[in-house]
């Protein structure tokens, strides 16, 4: 394996890893979107169950209070009757007191019932809103899921294809260098750096002159003492050509 082919392989590895990162990010984004919808739906379903249970409870209490209110109304009628039949001052005062107390209880119950009616209405509205939202999310999952599944399958196929290509490049570059590359890549670094004028273009630290000199002939790869990237010499012209040449050509053609 010649050094030139090895350098070319390393450049290809960097390029294919950059493409793989884009594809994997897209795949993660697709997955996250689907998951976010499913999670929100699940959360609302949980909330809906709680709201329904609490509505049943409030409806029951409201029923009891309404009955109590009716019952107090009947007591009020009887109390009024007693007052009308009172013969002595003492009897009439006692009946008045009882009537006052009952009136207050009757009124309190009425306020409680009306508060609960409002609360029940609000709960019913919330339940309706949640049901609507859950139905929307279910539709979104049903309709967007096949599209998203399709996109994810195609991304997975692209990734598999790139990975196969990557393995071939890796085999070309050779065992030890590939292992160094992979271990740095696994730590989230771009494992390769060029140097053109004696500076590592990965970390921009000046290289020891002896090291730079040993790389100039392109007979061996080096390692940057600062960032530990795999290092190789790239002549200034060669570094500029890939981007500059096709542009110049097309501008003179036009
Ligand atoms: Zn460096």
* Centre of ligand 1 from the C-alpha of residue 173, in Å: 21
- Encode pLDDT of 121-137 as tens digits: 999 999 999 999 999 99
* Centre of ligand 1 from the C-alpha of residue 79, in Å: 98
167 and 199, same domain (yes or no): no
Residue 51 within a domain: yes
* Centre of ligand 1 from the C-alpha of residue 229, in Å: 6
Number of residues in the chain: 254
* Centre of ligand 1 from the C-alpha of residue 210, in Å: 15
153 and 200, same domain (yes or no): no
244 and 166, same domain (yes or no): no
- Encode pLDDT of 208-251 as tens digits: 999 999 999 999 899 999 999 999 999 987 545 544 444 444 44
Q: How many domains does the chain have?
A: 2
* Centre of ligand 1 from the C-alpha of residue 163, in Å: 27
Provide CB contacts within 8 A for 6, sequence distance 6+. 172, 173, 174, 177, 221
In order of 35, 156, 163, 194, the CA distances from 17 in angstroms are 26, 15, 9, 17
210 and 102, same domain (yes or no): no
**Rounded Cα distance, 42 and 48, in Å:** 10
pTM for this predicted structure: 0.66
* Centre of ligand 1 from the C-alpha of residue 19, in Å: 23
Question: Could you give the 3-state DSSP secondary structure of residue 91?
Answer: helix
66 and 23, same domain (yes or no): yes
Sheet holding 230-233, edge to edge: 192-195, 230-233, 222-223
- Final residue belonging to a domain, choices 130, 145, 176: 176
Domain extent for 133: 3-176
Q: HSE (CB half, 13 Å, CA atoms) of 8?
A: 7
- Final residue belonging to a domain, choices 132, 150, 176: 176
90 and 203, same domain (yes or no): no
**Which CATH number fits the domain that encloses residue 69?**
1.10.287.1490
Residue 185 within a domain: no
Residue 135 within a domain: yes
Residues with C-beta atoms within 5 A of ion ligand 1: 200, 202-203, 224, 226-227
* Centre of ligand 1 from the C-alpha of residue 92, in Å: 104
**Rounded Cα distance, 135 and 146, in Å:** 17
Residue 184 within a domain: no
**Rounded Cα distance, 80 and 234, in Å:** 108
Residue 233 sits at φ, ψ, to 5 deg, of: -85, 135
254 residues of the chain, pLDDT tens digit each = 588 889 999 999 999 999 999 999 999 999 998 999 999 999 999 999 999 999 999 999 999 999 999 999 999 999 999 899 989 999 899 999 999 999 999 999 999 999 999 999 999 999 999 999 999 999 988 888 888 889 999 999 999 999 999 999 999 888 889 999 999 999 988 999 999 999 999 999 999 999 999 999 999 899 999 999 999 999 987 545 544 444 444 444 43
């Amino acid at each position: 394996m010649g050094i030139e082919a090895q350098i070319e392989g390393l450049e290809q590895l960097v390029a294919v890893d950059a493409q793989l990162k884009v594809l994997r990010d897209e795949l993660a984004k697709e997955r996250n979107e689907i998951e976010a919808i499913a999670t929100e739906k699940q959360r609302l379903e949980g909330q809906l169950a709680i709201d329904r249970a609490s509505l049943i409870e409030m409806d029951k209490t409201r029923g009891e209070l309404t009955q109590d209110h009716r019952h107090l109304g009947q007591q009020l009628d009887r109390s009024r009757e007693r007052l009308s039949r009172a013969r002595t001052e003492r009897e009439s005062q006692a009946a008045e007191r009882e009537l006052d107390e009952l009136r207050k209880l009757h009124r309190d119950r009425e306020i409680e019932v009306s508060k609960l009616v409002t609360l029940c209405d609000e709960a019913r509205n919330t339940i309706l809103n949640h049901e609507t939202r859950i139905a929307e999310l279910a539709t979104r999952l049903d309709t967007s899921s096949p599209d998203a599944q399709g996109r994810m399958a195609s991304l997975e196929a692209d990734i598999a294809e790139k990975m196969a290509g990557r393995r071939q490049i890796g085999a070309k570059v050779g065992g030890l260098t590939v292992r160094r590359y992979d271990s740095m890549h696994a730590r989230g670094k771009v494992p390769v750096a060029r140097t053109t004028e004696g500076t590592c273009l990965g970390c921009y630290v000046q290289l020891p002159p002896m090291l730079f000199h040993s790389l100039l002939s392109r007979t061996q790869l080096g390692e940057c003492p600062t960032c530990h990237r795999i290092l190789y010499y790239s002549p200034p012209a060669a570094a500029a050509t890939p981007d500059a040449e096709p542009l110049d050509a097309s501008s003179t053609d036009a």
